[in-house]
Amino acid sequence: MLLATNSIRLVNIGLRAITLGTRFLFIFFLAKYLDPTSVGYYGIFTATVGYAMYFVGLDFYTYVSREILKVSPDSRGQLLKGQLALSGWLYIVLIPFALWFFSENNWPSYLVFWFLPILVLEHFNQEMSRLLITLSEQLTSSVILFIRQGSWAIAIIALMYMDTTARNLNVVMVMWAIAGLAAAGAGVWKLRQLKTGGWHLPIDWRWIKKGIRVSIVFLIATLALRGVQTFDRYWLEALGGIETVGAYVLLFGIAGTLLTFLDAAVFAFAYPALIRLHHEDKPDEARKQVGVLFWQTVGLSVMFGITSWLVLPYLLIWIGNPLYLQAAHWYPWLLLAMVLNAVGMVPHYALYACDVDKPIIQSHIAALLVFVLVTATFSQWLGYQAVFLGLNAAFACILLWKAVSYFRLLQHQAVSKNCPR
């Protein structure tokens, strides 16, 4: 039994590692086979889809994940039916706004066409993956993740390599949609295997309203934080043009690998341990764990920074587009922003483990305001490079806010005895 469990865990980790590796390589091949304008539109498209998913999802899964385990499998369908109904209403509200937004931003017509199908598939598959994890079906969730993110990336790279006529963004959207449909089919099949009942029961709108009240506060904070990494691309396009966004997407993708790596190698293990120590009322051990987490994060960030900086020129030369080589001097700015973001996750997890959510929410909202203020103020002197300054200021704000809040928490540990010191 133990051997089978370990084997499943290894397969699960392997699938996620392959998916992450594939996505990392995908952006390089995209930059090699597509022109910077297409890469720029791809970056704006993905950021917009990711941001819109919060509006049609409302972070409602945070509520459903707790509630669905409280009821029997025979009644779970009623809750999922309610979540689907809520998203349906939200899509009706979003669609007219989305059409107005696209008309104002002059998106290519084929991207406007693909936005809603891709959004629906990404949203459905993300919610399905979260549901399966909640129901302890981690392996199936990883398989779905690979199908929706890794499989089509491999397929499009091979297709572009063999067929030059496939080197366009429309083909990328087609492959993305096909993979999304396959992932959705796999998710529905697995849900049917779990024999989830209760779909015939009426929608409980009071339950939905309660869930909205619970999740809306966290949604505001999430929208603020993700807004920084969505509005940056639009602001960069306005100040520097769509090709500038293409170079930014490539370099940001490299720098952003740091956080993905830390999530898988460090935070995924430290975060549950901090929660356990908090609930076991072991503040001294928790404080030491936070210290270890800090030095691990700093050490790995330095190693990643040095390695990526040394490898970057060779990657850009392999891509072969002079625009990316000319933009290489942006990388230290983006790398610094990601390091600030990574270090800020240390007090974030320390606070979250203690159920102290208020400073986390406040810091995310403040970060968006700082980003807008700094970028708007300095854009008249620095042009599009003000976006880099605004990005760093936003993540520095989050780091300082959460760090100060955590140290204040430590000062009160002698009284509360509920948080690490």
241: left (phi over 0), alpha (psi -120 to 50) or beta: left
Q: Are residues 239 and 370 in the same domain?
A: yes
Q: Are residues 310 and 214 in the same domain?
A: yes
Q: What is the pLDDT along the chain (421 residues), one digit of tens a residue?
A: 555 556 666 777 778 778 878 888 898 899 999 999 999 999 999 999 999 999 998 888 877 877 887 788 888 888 899 999 999 999 999 989 888 888 787 888 889 899 999 999 999 999 998 888 778 787 888 889 899 988 999 999 999 999 999 999 999 999 999 999 999 999 999 988 888 888 888 888 998 898 888 788 878 888 998 999 899 999 999 999 999 999 999 999 999 989 877 876 787 677 777 877 877 777 788 889 899 999 999 999 999 999 999 999 999 999 989 999 999 999 999 999 999 999 999 999 888 888 788 899 999 999 999 999 999 999 989 999 999 999 999 999 999 999 999 998 888 765 555 555 4
Q: Are residues 217 and 166 in the same domain?
A: no
Q: Which of 144, 172, 203 is the last residue of a domain?
A: 203
Q: Which of 203, 236, 257 is the last residue of a domain?
A: 203
Q: Which of 203, 232, 250 is the last residue of a domain?
A: 203
- 270 contact partners, CB below 8 Å, separation of at least 6: 289, 292, 293, 296, 349
Residue 9, pLDDT score: 63
Q: Are residues 220 and 333 in the same domain?
A: yes
Residue 392, pLDDT score: 97
**What is the total count of domains within the chain?**
2
Q: Are residues 158 and 281 in the same domain?
A: no
Rounded Cα distance, 143 and 75, in Å? 26
Domain range spanning residue 224?
A: 208-421
Residue 332, pLDDT score: 96
Q: Are residues 280 and 155 in the same domain?
A: no
Residue 4, pLDDT score: 54
Residue 38, pLDDT score: 92
Cα–Cα nearest to 230, from 50, 388, 376, 64: 50
Q: Are residues 154 and 116 in the same domain?
A: yes
Cα-Cα-Cα-Cα dihedral of 409, 413, 414, 415, to 10°? 80
**pTM of the entire structure?**
0.85
Instruction: Please answer whether residues 301 and 359 qualify as being in contact, where contact means their C-beta atoms are separated by less than 8 angstroms.
Output: no
Buried residues in 249-277 as b, exposed as e (16+ CB within 10 A): bbbbbbbbbbbebbeeebbeebbebbbeb
Q: Are residues 259 and 373 in the same domain?
A: yes
Residue 2, pLDDT score: 52
Q: Are residues 107 and 189 in the same domain?
A: yes
Q: Are residues 56 and 38 in the same domain?
A: yes
Q: Are residues 115 and 214 in the same domain?
A: no
Q: Are residues 290 and 421 in the same domain?
A: yes
